[in-house]
A and B are shown apart, each in its own frame.
Chain A
Amino acid sequence: MGWGLVLALTLIVIAPVIVVAWQAGVSTDIRPEDIAAIRFTVTQAILSALVSVIVALPIARALARRQFWGRNAIITLLGAPFILPVIVAVIALLTIFGQGGILARYLAEIGFNLPSIYGLSGVVLAHVFLNVPLVTRYLLQGWNDIPAEHFRLAASLGFSARDTFRLLELPMLRATLPAAALAVFLICTTSFAVALTMGGGPRATTIELAIFQAFRFDFDLARASQLALFQLLLTGVTALVAFRVLRLASFGGGSGRPLSRPDIPKSGGLVVLDATVVAVAVVFFMAPLLSIVVRGAPHLPDLPSSIWLASLNSLLVALAAALMAVLGALGVVLAAAYGATVAGTTLRILAYLPLALSPLVLGTGLFLAINPYIDPRDVALPVAATVNAAVTLPFAVGILHPVLLRTESQYANLADSVGLTGWSRFRDLYFPASRPALGFSAGLAAALSIGDLSVIALFTGADVTTLPMQVYRLMGAYRMEDAVAASLWLLLLSLFVFWVFDWWGRRDA
């Protein structure tokens, strides 16, 4: 089983990279607009990372040291960006900060003109909106990892708030903040959907967007490959650094355990500060989503019929991607669990490799590989499902691996002693133990693919389309009401597929 999986992953993950590199070798001249794309990609990613971390810090601190009604709900919602389609987030932000948005209209009434959101500011805004919740969760985990005794010691030794920060929180932040910033930077270097909708033009084009444009507008495959190679170098180097400092799995989990904090006062200025921070954060992150619910709901019944076919396509892609991601992750983890074989080690490396690859790089490679033989548009949906499964694989492996390791270390001797081996060991031990993780990973893969607007944009023609593509087209046609309603529908569908899988995983747990 191990080597078969190695072959499959090599075809999906390594082959596209080789094709890209080989094709890119043909062209050697670098255009100024390519340099501009690289510069913009790095600039926006750095800004997004810095702003996300600065915004997340006070939110995480407030959540870590206060217990209040609704705290658990907020912590659960912090995981939402994982399953929130990027295009939905963009539309939601536009309903507030866009030209016709609520904020612009309000400011216009009191005589201010909101500057255009499109360009660098819009790209960074969207990235901050999508990443702050994840960073907050990551930092919250850092606070939870500080032993409760240390906060008791702080109270008992009479630490001031500054002492606690300097002696307890700063050492933790020194370890977690760079990792969090790096993760956001990595995510933002592969930004496509946000750049497509919020950016564009020579001054706000990311490398991913440039690849897409080289494909769709010029059909210049050599240039697309060359750009893909730049992208590969940028994300590859970043991912290599990130691997060393980042704890991947904690992005998936996130503990809601409230800390007992005897070291800080239960009333006074700090409480007001924390309450304000949490309230502002909730409004900033919930208002855009509420606004698409309010604006979109009345128009749901009037959506063009093309939406329904697109929804069906999206659902199919999501189900296929979920199945592939989970089966792939199980295969990788089980192969790795049976000792440090060569196949197992190779598999683990292959499984984490997609973190260093962007969907468009994979897509470009697969397109080039398929193009000589089949019309890529005919296989748009299977390719989209495959790439989405590959992109989710690192997360699924990251979630499953610790669960199976724990199960193995706790029950291996018992299972061996009663002769539980082979298939029955899987059925009666591994599967029941990992079912919640399987359901969660499948839900993640399904939600991620149903909202995906990257590979699909590269491959689809006018005839085959998915829901995120339809939303983008409605937006491009300035049919904002329809776009908002379709976003709402996409959001509901995305939440639904995630919920179904997650519910399946936790049903008997």
Chain B
Amino acid sequence: MLELQEVSVEHGSFKLRADVRIAPGNVTAFVGESGAGKSTLFGALSGFENLASGQILWSGTDIAPLPPAQRPVSILFQDNNLFPHLTVERNVALGLTTRARPGHETLDRVHEALEQVGLAGFGARKPGALSGGQRSRVSLARALVRSRPIVLLDEPFAALGPALKAEMLDLTATTLARPDTVVLMITHDPQDALRIADQTMIVSDGLVQMPRDTADLFASPPPDLQKYFGK
């Protein structure tokens, strides 16, 4: 269980508040206007933002004091998820080790993950030689080998076309979403949420609202969501 207990993050005059619980085995979407606090929330979960107060509990342990690398968290950014000068194989292997020559066991897991995302045989290439969709698959493969129970998707597929994006979301849902993990995704597109998210939370004016069933929420959206989607 991921619990945000009276969490608040302060950014000058901006303040984000969250007091929510998310059960494992769920994909949760976060929607809301730019500047409402979605990225700040992800920053707090991944360790790039300090909490002003509150606790972030994972299975009952407060992870807020931990540095980013020691948290049970993997994050996929919007851009620059891969190091351009390293091969696909090394980029994925970084999820396990920073050694220049990863061991056999590591490489086996890397190749297994690449196979899972449909990139078997691409290990020796550099990111520059891949398409946008293939690069997204590489970041996904790294999240797979890291196998951390909290996965944050900060719109990593936003630059892809609709069909490719849907494909990547499905791939994410089938590979990363497991009974013991929580997958959290920021999105601007109701279709993304409807496609893979069991529940959706609205982030509005610095407040993270209670989760709602995604299908219900978009079937009868509350006023602030209607305003956001211009309906």
Contact = CB atoms under 8 A, between A and B. Distances in A.
B180 interface: no
Interface stretch (A144-152, A250-258, A348-356, A455-463): A144-152
Contacts of B26: none
B223 interface: no
A153 B67 contact: no
A149 B70 contact: no
B69 A147 contact: no
B61 interface: no
Interface string A159-186: 1100100111001000000000000000
A156 B98 contact: no
Interface stretch (B6-14, B80-88, B192-200): B80-88
Interface string B32-62: 0000000000000011100000000000000
A209 to B, nearest CB: 43
B196 to A, nearest CB: 23
Contacts of A155: 47-48, 67-69
A169 to B, nearest CB: 12
Contact of A262 (B48, B73, B83): B48
Contacts of A160: 98
Interface string A179-220: 000000000000000000000000000000000000000000
B229 interface: no
A407 interface: no
A150 B69 CA distance: 13
Contacts of B48: 152, 155, 260, 262
Q: What secondary structure prevails in chain B residues at the interface with A?
A: loop
Interface string B94-106: 1100101000000
A262 B80 contact: no
A153 B91 CA distance: 11
A168 B86 CA distance: 10
A171 B85 contact: yes
A156 B94 contact: no
Contacts of B81: 149, 153
Contacts, number: 55
A158 interface: yes
Nearest to B46: A156
A147 B80 contact: yes
A157 interface: yes
A159 B98 contact: yes
B61 to A, nearest CB: 18
Nearest to A160: B98
Interface residues of A, number: 19
Given A159-B98, A163-B98, A167-B98, A152 B68 contact: yes
A156 B86 contact: no
Interface string A241-276: 000000000000000000010100000000000000
Interface residues of B, number: 22
A399 B98 CA distance: 40
Given A262-B47, A262-B48, A156 B74 contact: yes
A150 B91 CA distance: 12
B138 interface: no
B52 to A, nearest CB: 17
A153 B154 CA distance: 13
Contact of A157 (B77, B94, B100): B94
B89 to A, nearest CB: 14
Given A152-B48, A157-B95, A167 B83 contact: yes
B86 to A, nearest CB: 7
A58 B130 CA distance: 35
A149 B80 contact: yes
Nearest to A168: B83
B213 interface: no
Contacts of A148: 80
Contacts of B73: 156
B63 to A, nearest CB: 13
B70 A158 contact: yes
B113 interface: no
B168 interface: no
Contacts of B47: 155-156, 262
Contacts of A260: 48
A326 to B, nearest CB: 38
A158 B68 CA distance: 7
Given A157-B98, A159-B98, A150 B83 contact: yes
Interface of B: 46-48, 67-70, 73-75, 77, 79-81, 83, 85-86, 94-95, 98, 100, 146
18 contacts: A147-B80, A149-B77, A150-B83, A152-B46, A153-B77, A153-B94, A155-B68, A156-B46, A156-B68, A156-B69, A156-B74, A157-B95, A157-B146, A158-B68, A158-B70, A160-B98, A163-B98, A167-B83
Given A147-B79, A152-B75, A157-B69, 7 more contacts: A149-B80, A149-B81, A153-B80, A155-B48, A155-B69, A156-B68, A163-B98
Q: Which 3 A-B pairs have the closest CB atoms?
A: A158-B69, A149-B80, A147-B80
